[in-house]
Amino acid sequence: MKLSKHKALIFVIVLLQQALQSTAEPSIITIPLEKTKKRKTFGIKHRFRHPPLQDKQRSVLEGVEDVIHRFTLGSGEPELDVDIRNHENTIYSAKLFVGSNLQEFDTYIDTGSNLLVLLGTETSRSSNDCELPARFDNTTSSTFALTGYNDSISYMSGYFVSGFKASDTVSIDSSQTIKATDFSFLYGIIDGGFECFEALLGMMRTDETYPQFQEQLQAQGKIDSKVFSLYLSDYGNDTSSLQLGGYDTSYLRNPLKGITYVPLSFYFNFWAPKINAVRVGLSDYDYDGQTETAWSFTTPNFAVMDSGTTLIYTHNKVFPKLIKAIVKNAVVKKTKEGVYYTEQCDGKRFKPVLLQMGDAWFTIPPSKYLFPSLLPGICIIGFIQSPLDDWTIGDVFLRNYYSVWDHDNNRIGLSPHKTSSADVIPLELLPVPRNQFQPTTAMDTAWEVIRYVWYGITTVSLFGSAFFLADVIIASIIHMA
């Protein structure tokens, strides 16, 4: 069910339209992102800090500026436009060509990690979950060079890659029209858990150890700007793309309304704005004018924007209350990995989730945070509890917006893309809620039990509330201990 079917929200959204000033940006290069065959494993990635590198990988289901900058965009001629592949709505990838002999790799595009990882022929590539992946044969490339510097990446799931820092020519096309020469990457010779991976291109903010791909293209005069942009297609759509060197207004649903820019925090080298408040739906107010489904944070939460993560990993103390508000009218279950799901992707029992960043709210319609898995009778709810005191904002959010990643100006831009039903709501039209977030306590749990004993538990609320009491609150108390 699309957000447009929520009549109350439509009324608010109609009031939101604002005319914004116009400006233009340099032309860009667009890289198409495509879709592949199904895999048996539903892959979710999450971060694990292993200095000096950051990356993530987790399997969860088998089978500082204070102001926001907004402006209207002019049209731009693409400079680099690369196709992206949509892997079962979990990971997006593009084709990269490496070495003098143009070895081709299906490369995951990952804004939550900081380097290009290529696996050598020494690593494993035998799996029942995927077709035989490509491996980089350095002996056949005359431009390959080893630096002699050992390096490795560790992953939260226990996956890892160990090897050497190396360099070679990396291109986005087989003709090498657009290429980065002597580009540094991690050449993996030992790995665990990477049987189905070919390569991963990290696009975090600037890293001293491994220069970013777009940064080197700019230094070599291939593009005018380090800005890159992402259009991640919705389910079943193969038109995803990565733009290097700027942005393209043709991807916007309403170019005249422009892009809303959110300032970034200095949170390691991640693309991390702050979440100041969160709400589920726009109504459901208490008698005193406050709401049980919206909260502001006295200390803003860091939110890592990560195209390499599928779900939204919610701050571990915020998650219990948020998931309770999301599933309050639905019958849901939970896997042992912490993924909530229902039997059908029917948005009628769910409300939009709104995140407040900068000077605006960004909506996530139920039609985007509910999506089918590869297993029958399972519709995944795209929020999961983070083991950390921050958020990781994955593709469940990013699929709603055309995103502009602007390192030089310390900001990320978001605008509903041409097929999106999401909306950006200015704070002047929807203020931050008065309710300040308080973590769930044992007293909250006892009070909830009393309420449901007194009023009774309906079939619908059995999983939406009682299940929450027996499972989610306990997990939250453990995190607070």
DSSP secondary structure of 371-435: EE-SSTT-EEESEEE-SSSSEEE-HHHHTTEEEEEETTTTEEEEEEBTT----EEETTTSPPPSP
- Show the tokens assigned to 432: 């931050």
Q: What is the DSSP letter of 471?
A: I
Q: For position 459, what pLDDT does the model report?
A: 38
Which candidate in 234, 306, 359, 423 is catalytic? 306
pLDDT of residue 190: 87
User: Greater confidence, 171 or 471?
Assistant: 171
Q: What is the mean pLDDT of residues 451-466?
A: 46
In this predicted model, what pLDDT tens digit does every residue of 298-357 receive, in sequence order? 998 999 999 988 899 999 999 999 999 999 889 899 888 889 999 988 888 999 999 999
Q: How many percent of the chain have pLDDT more than 90?
A: 47
**What local confidence, expressed as pLDDT, does residue 361 receive?**
98
What backbone phi and psi angles, to 5 degrees, belong to 156?
A: -60, -35
Q: What's the CA gap between 48 and 25, in Å, rounded?
A: 35
pLDDT of the residue at 385: 94
Report the candidate in 60, 114, 7, 73 with the shortest Cα–Cα distance to residue 312: 60
Q: Which residues of 182-198 are buried (b: 16+ CB within 10 A; e: fewer)?
A: ebbbbbbeebebbbbbb
Whether residue 5 is predicted with pLDDT greater than 90 in this model: the reply is no
Tokens of 312: 């939204």
Tens digit of pLDDT for each residue in 407-450? 989 999 999 999 999 999 999 999 898 888 988 665 555 555 55
The answer on pLDDT for 65 being more than 80 is no
Read off the DSSP letter of residue 122: T
Q: Which residues contact 151 (CB under 8 A, 6 or more apart)?
A: 53, 162, 163, 164, 165, 186
Residue 110 is a catalytic residue: yes
CB of 442 closer than 8 Å to CB of 474: no
Please give the average per-residue pLDDT across 100-121, as a whole number: 93
Question: Given pLDDT bands bounded at 50, 70 and 90, which one contains residue 117?
Answer: very high
pLDDT at 80 exceeding the cut of 70: no
Mean predicted confidence (pLDDT) in 171-199 = 89
Q: What is the CA radius of gyration of the chain?
A: 22
Burial readout 91-120 (b: 16 or more C-beta within 10 A, e: otherwise): bbbbbbbbbeebbebbbbbbbbbbbbbbbb
Distance, CA of 121 to CA of 125 (rounded, Å)? 9
DSSP H or E run through 58:
strand 53-62
User: Per-residue pLDDT tens for 34-59?
Assistant: 644 433 233 334 333 333 223 332 23
Domains and CATH numbers, the chain: 25-63+74-244 (2.40.70.10), 272-305+311-393+423-480 (2.40.70.10)
The residue from 55, 110, 168, 248 that is catalytic is 110
Q: What is the predicted pLDDT for the residue at 27?
A: 57
Is 306 one of the annotated active-site residues of the chain? yes
Q: Which residues pair with 95 in a beta bridge?
A: 106
Q: What pLDDT is recorded for position 319?
A: 96
Query: What is the pLDDT at residue 156?
Result: 56
Report yes or no: 385 and 314 within 8 Å, Cβ to Cβ: yes
- In the structure, what pLDDT confidence band is assigned to residue 471 with cuts at 50, 70 and 90? low
User: What single letter denotes the amino acid at residue 242?
Assistant: L
Note the pTM of the prediction, 2 decimals: 0.79
Return the pLDDT at 8.
34
